[in-house]
Structure 1
Amino acid sequence: MILRPGTFLQDRYEILDQIGSGGMSDVYKALCHKLNRPVAIKVLKEEFSSDSGFVSKFKMEAQAAARLSHPNIVNIYDVVDEGNLHYIVMELIEGITLKNYIIKKGCLDVKEAIGVAISVAQGIAAAHEQGIIHRDIKPQNIIIARDGKVKVADFGIARAASSQTLSATAVGSVHYISPEQARGGYSDVRSDIYSLGITMYEMVAGRVPFQGDNTVTVALAHLEDPITPPSYYNEGIPVGFENIILKCTEKKPEYRYGTMHEVISDLRKALVNPDGDFVQYNSQVDDSQTVIIGKPELEQIRSGRKIQADPAVSRNGGRNQEQRQERRMEKKPGQQPGSIRTRKQDTDDDINPKIERLLTAAGVVVAILIVVVLIIVFSKVSGLFRSGSPKETESTAEISTEETLSDKKVKMPSIVGLATDIAEQKLKDNGGLYMKVSDYVFDDTLDKGDIVSQDPVEGTVTDKYSAVYVVVSKGPEHVTIDLAKLGLEKMDGASAKTALEGSGLTVTVEQKNSDTVAAGYVISYSPAEAKEGENVTLVVSSGPALVNPVTVPNIAGQTEEIALEMLADVGLVQGTVTEAASETVVRGSIISQSLTANSQVEAGTAMNYVVSSGTVQQAKYKYLASIDKSYSLQNIIGPGSGSTQLTLKIQLRQPVNGKDEVRELMGPVTMTGDQMLPVSFKNIEGAYGVTSGTVEIVNVETGDVINSYSITFIPVPQS
């Protein structure tokens, strides 16, 4: 059932407009007349409302989620049953979903994506601490508000929906579900971590990793297909952030992060050191099938040659998929023994005991042969020193080297100083050697992506098809930034702070009075130059020094009468008053003000403000009535009334939306009993759309209504 604008729920929430629709619910913008604030109302669709079991679970989970309170979670205010309607009243966030933001931008800047991911992870972590798992983390459920705040929505609804069969209504979610959810298994906090990993993937790659023609195809891909590193689609993704995404999206939950706090910790490291190797991988159990070793492979094992596939030529400075993933399988310097299984360990586990004994015997024979060859070579070299000429010695040495370099050996070339992709190709051309990155370091002399060192070093004789471990330059650690080029003097404080932080600097803001620089704008900054990571002090103008400062009140949402009293109380005066239609602020109340609430200004300053003329429809007409009566107070006092005094007021009472609204027409006045009270008003403006009302004479001291007059209101076009 579609709710029309103007519909009231619980005589409190007025539907203003439909702002969205999903697989389970329709979302409306509404106004809470009790608290005078805009809200969002999510109404369960009819096909779910008819399932009593689902409704019960929906209510239970939504009520559990309502106790969550966190800056990065959309607050739930109420969970309501009203006839066949089941709905949630929640905080209204004016902004854009992360999904639409990604579509708009193509893909996010890495720092921006990390910032969004940290905010989302903090909200999810708060829910996890309360024992609540979202189960449907996706960009469609993440909202970026107009002020830049990031909030996660649909806690509770997702858990209630988890019992539903995967169907067409889940098309938007299946791209983000964890493998255990896809197979219908048990899901926990690590399921949310997987979905967050897919969301981070989409933010920087501009697409989800698994796509298909239907939900089943995509779900199977989550279960079976390896994930393509996001750097395949966006070469600008740094290693550190990519490794966080890959760990979050491991197929098996035990290989992922254990808690959302661990994810947040690594994301913060990625902000400071994007190319750092700080992601710690969980120990993985090799559950692969036993492989039968054929005769060619056995010969290669006996000869000491490693079986390697040709490494793919790298993209983006050599950081290809194999390099990034093999870093997780290789033991790094300083790691604890047994923390990560190496390929050699995996190979040893697969070797048949009989073959192992044969290889051991073969190894002994090979060792004996090597000793014999060394004795012969040593004898020849010794003989040359005793009797040979220099020319003969040189010739014999060349022969000896050629004998040492068999078809299984190669002399290590130098790759230090080369770009990663060039170095990798050079190694491949020299005996099928392949490169593995052991570390990334800052270097002031080499460009980012160049080789700093290699192991084995140049000239070393090594096996063909073996690995060469390299350290890669991250470029200079700190780049000097000329702040004059940023044009900070022409910016306001907020814009200048954003520009500095975007350049990798930290910012301290100081306020200072200035007679020449407008309030909020930059007066000065220091130092003139700074390196990435250093602090810059911004001095921002707070305007001229105040002689008699007063604090500006917040009059937004107040009636004009109350607003004027608030201004007078602090010593401010009324400025320019304008009217504007508003779908959220009731007629006669303040929409906005010219001075910032809680700021300091000089006493006597004029405050401009905008008053609501109601909705667009209400702005076209106003309802007016008039009355011309008089009332003798002798009617209630009787004889001797001349010496009796009464304090009276006149008010208008109207039924509005089922409730009486009272508005004062004449303030309290004190009169004697022998006087006539004039009840004469030419243009009484009533509530929009209400054609009846009562003018009442009220005894202020007792609150009794002494007399009343019925009046009729008619619509009059606004001039």
Structure 2
Amino acid sequence: MILRPGTFLQDRYEILDKIGSGGMSDVYKALCHKLKRQVAIKVLKEEFSSDSGFVSKFKMEAQAAARLSHPNIVNVYDVVDEGTLHYIVMELIEGITLKNYILKKGCLDSKEAIGIAIQVAQGIAAAHEQGIVHRDIKPQNIIIARDGKVKVADFGIARAASTQTLSATAMGSVHYISPEQARGGYSDARSDIYSLGITMYEMAAGRVPFEGENTVTVALAHLEDPITPPSYYNQEIPVGFENIILKCTEKKPEYRYGSMQEVIADLRRALVTPDENFVQASAPSMDTSQTVIIGAPELEQIRSGSGRRNQPEPQQNRNSRYGNEPVRERQPEHRSSRNTGTAGGPSGRTKRREPDEEINPGIEKLLTAAGIVVAVLIVIVLIFLVTRLGGLFRSGTPKETETTVETTIPEETTLGDKQTTMPEVEGLAEDIARQKLRENGGLDMKIGDYEFSDTVKKGDVITQTPKAGEIVDKYSAVSVVISNGPEHPEIDLTTLGLDSLTAEAAKSLLEGKGFVVNVQNQSSDTVESGKIISYSPDKAKEGAVISVIASTGPALTNPVTVPDITGKGEEVGEEMLADLGLVSGTVTKETSEDVPTGTIIRQTIAPGTQVEGGTAIDYVVSSGSAEQAKYKYLASIEKSYPLQNLIGPGSASTQLNIKIQLKQTVNGKDEVRDLMGPVTITGDQQLPVVFKNIEGAYGVTSGEVQIVNVDTGEVINSYPVTFVPIPQS
């Protein structure tokens, strides 16, 4: 069952995207709405979910793994049954698998490989201390986070999978499986040590030690063939690190390291003294596992159904490499100079097993069946190729068919039995590409990375390695890059309903989606003021600039710019509006602990807005605090001041810029508030100082009404006034 983005599990986990798929499960990125964090959800595939015995084992082991807590282990948060779905909720690690990292870099630098191996070993050691054996250590189950932290995944799943047959798990793990697992014998912590050794081998050599045409061939190689030292493929591997790898990958568990802690200790020493031959051979101990006898005829039957792969023969006896061997010198042309040990003990074992060595009879039938299946597949492929050459699958024009035959026949004549031509899978959907590769020589598709692409549809192949047309070995791996679609997909703005929104609401909506919004105003006789007239473009990607034209209503015949009257006294505000041909609209009183009584708190039309002359401007006036609202302190004055007394002769030709203000001392500080705004009058006039209801500060009973020369700031004259508390109606 494929989970689509937007699907909710347990009304808690929202599926965001599918991020991977393995032999047993599909992995999704999800958002936990309860804890507001992203998680990874690994969902068992249907073929495993239908097996009640396996599901029971899977739940038990996954719950045990959930108890593990270590910096180098992917945390398991929850194990859930939901109908037919069985899944694990895990920590989401943003990074790359070690397998993909090796595919990108090839051979890793020894220090980098040792550093990664130490972190992996620490995580495995923590699990071993809790009695949990992983049983499926491989680069695909090791994740390198973006911060460099290395984490081991799939504890519990691997252990549950070990109860299944070899064919259920071997496809992804047979290259790293221990000999005792391959023959169905008892496995313990030393099995993880072997698999870690193979993983270190791949980091150091850029390849696994055993390869073959099918899983049976590789499994037999783990059981029988001596391992080729990794320095055969990479001369730069230090002797200390190589000997650690060789000891980890001994055929018999008793010859390997006794615990993961011993591996960690030697790896740390290899960082300090890489060219020192410090690895000691382990003394063999009594093997408590049951010996299973396999006869020569049965072994021959297994071999006959599998075919052998071309494996380089080691140039020396590998077990002589640890002990007291002196530091080696690099001699690529004479590989035998790398050994000075003698046969005996573990180093005296021969390349081939004796017929009486251990092998599980149950594996015989499985290996034989696998060989038969491979043979049938090869026959099908050959029939397909023959029919193609015979013209049974010709399509298109006669000219096209002729060209295909001309290019195909020479190619087939140059291919060996173990080779095939790499098909073209770029541009194909992931599942179609995988099937096409399988049909062409059993090629195995590996996803190397996911990348954003504006040209390749999400889920399709962007690039492939090797390229189409190259001659490759059958059953080899093909690395592909899968498209995640555009990083910033194009959004259809017509679906957002912008036409029905105000310009302010539309701007907020678009900015929330990552756009840059440029709003311009324009008059309109048909679109209500504040609403959107138009916008462009209709489709855009995140980060694009969206131009929005907002309506200011019908064009003005007598435009007036609204003044800023906030912070002014009510009387002054009225005068400022009247001077510009505007009128006071609805005046609302509102209590305020911060704004003095009688001061305008806010206005309904923003300052600087163009309006028609005569428009009413609504505003809100402070009535003081809630306590002050009960009373207001009022005073009145009725005076006049002859300005000619101030100016003298020639006053009729002199103009003054005058204002009248109220001065009070409130809480020890002088506060001044305008009672009449600045006016220009001639010096021969009588200046009326008449105010019926002057509202003063709450609780202050005295003040001064002052006549001020605006140009000089000089107080021309002042009159004392007394304020009386009057109950509010």
TM norm. shorter chain > 0.5 = no
TM-score, length of structure 2 as denominator length: 0.42
The structure with more radius of gyration: 2
TM-score (norm 1): 0.43
